[in-house]
Structure 1
């Protein structure tokens, strides 16, 4: 039955309003995705791809695993197959990444995120060379990577520390050179290393 007069006009206006509202929210959603991916790709990736079951420690291990195992690859948070944030297609893939990154604490219990030109990074590396630890520290020279800023931002997010060096002991940041030097002078550093099953040959 054909609607005539005011009823037809009301139906037309209602349909128009629905289309306008739907279109408005669609545009807002698309713009939010676009602005997220262009202005802050790391935030965009975390928002849409990050597995919320991962702990901060898991993410930090993943960052170490990626930067040390794939030196020729740069972090792109929009890539769906990065181990550091555990992008994956299935739950099984995520479990495989967990197994690999959780071995980091055994393979490299001490990690030094360093910059080659930073004098404090140099002193930190010299201190651990003097201690002659086994395993030896894993040194990641962040300034030699193309994704320096992303790595720095992720370290800041995960450890609360945005300066270098950033020294990790079993996936926990113990600070920079000044912090580690103080721990060394007080004798606490040797205790922490030995408690972490790290052999210290030096003094």
Structure 2
């Protein structure tokens, strides 16, 4: 295009003054024709629209085509925007019930010692599952994955104790479990020495309805108060519950201790 303009200007300069206006007009007309051809070559969908308006002057055709392209872009942008919103809204965030939330939080804490619940979390309401689960809870199979997570955490950690390091009743239960030589070893989390204690303690109380610590979970179920645990241990019900959870008594492995 630049070469075409340069040649046109050169030819115009060589011609007499009388013919320069005519040469200039021819060059502009040629430029207009080339521009129109390039435009429709790049936008073939608009060429048929312009041809239907062939009875109008060339300048009007270009104006009409430009308007059509503008409207096409606007409608396309609207469709793209709607599609984007649809993609954003197609998944609904999964809401965890208390049993699922207890399993999710326990799995999160047991997987890595450095995992902590953010202090910005409100322990009085259900936690955002994305904070404690490692998959997108908006995908169609989220419910299945949550159920798999629940089964897996209690299979790997059939005996789970939320305790306090300096609590006499917590030490009593730890001693009780140690004498049983349980396999896999009980997962023990001393909540009171953790960085997220102020969030985790009220959260566990809400999820288990426990009035105080320690909180002993057998197969993911809250066993009861320290008095209940003592009574179950004395009657042999505690051993039965532990065996029913999948853990093996007198397994001989050492206890896991997570802080």
- Normalising to structure 1: TM-score of the pair? 0.65
Aligned to 1:192: 241
Asked if 2 retains the 8 angstrom alpha-carbon contact of 1:112 and 1:168, the reply is yes
2:202 paired residue among 148, 153, 156: 153
Cα distance in 1 for residues equivalent to 2:130 and 2:113: 16
Cα distance in 2 for residues equivalent to 1:59 and 1:163: 19
Cα distance in 2 for residues equivalent to 1:89 and 1:105: 20
Q: The residue matched to 2:104 in structure 1 has which SS?
A: helix
Cα distance in 1 for residues equivalent to 2:93 and 2:140: 15
Q: 1:65 to 1:200 in 2, by over 3 A?
A: same
Asked if 1 retains the 8 angstrom alpha-carbon contact of 2:157 and 2:187, the reply is yes
Aligned to 1:109: 158
Cα distance in 1 for residues equivalent to 2:249 and 2:218: 14
Shift of 1:176: 3.4
Q: The residue matched to 2:234 in structure 1 has which SS?
A: helix
Q: 1:50 to 1:176 in 2, by over 3 A?
A: farther
Aligned to 1:51: 94
Asked if 2 retains the 8 angstrom alpha-carbon contact of 1:83 and 1:97, the reply is no
Q: 1:120 to 1:98 in 2, by over 3 A?
A: same
Cα distance in 2 for residues equivalent to 1:74 and 1:169: 22
Asked if 2 retains the 8 angstrom alpha-carbon contact of 1:58 and 1:102, the reply is no
Shift of 1:51: 2.8
1:66 paired residue among 86, 96, 108: 108
Aligned to 1:170: 219
Aligned to 1:179: 228
Aligned residue-pair number: 152
Q: The residue matched to 2:165 in structure 1 has which SS?
A: coil
Q: 1:133 to 1:191 in 2, by over 3 A?
A: same
Aligned to 1:90: 138
- 1:78-130 CA distance string (max 9 Å, x none): 8773126x884632684545433430111110100011111110110000001
Gaps of 5+ in 1: 1-48
Q: The residue matched to 1:51 in structure 2 has which SS?
A: coil
Q: The residue matched to 1:199 in structure 2 has which SS?
A: coil
Q: 1:50 to 1:193 in 2, by over 3 A?
A: same
Report the structure number with the largest CA radius of gyration. Answer: 2
Mean CA deviation greater in 103-112 or 55-64: 55-64
Q: 1:185 to 1:80 in 2, by over 3 A?
A: closer
- 1:131-185 CA distance string (max 9 Å, x none): 1111111101111211112111111111101411100011110023322111010
Mean CA deviation greater in 170-179 or 108-117: 170-179
Query: Alpha carbon RMSD of aligned pairs, Å?
Result: 2.6
- 1:14-54 CA distance string (max 9 Å, x none): xxxxxxxxxxxxxxxxxxxxxxxxxxxxxxxxxxx9733x3
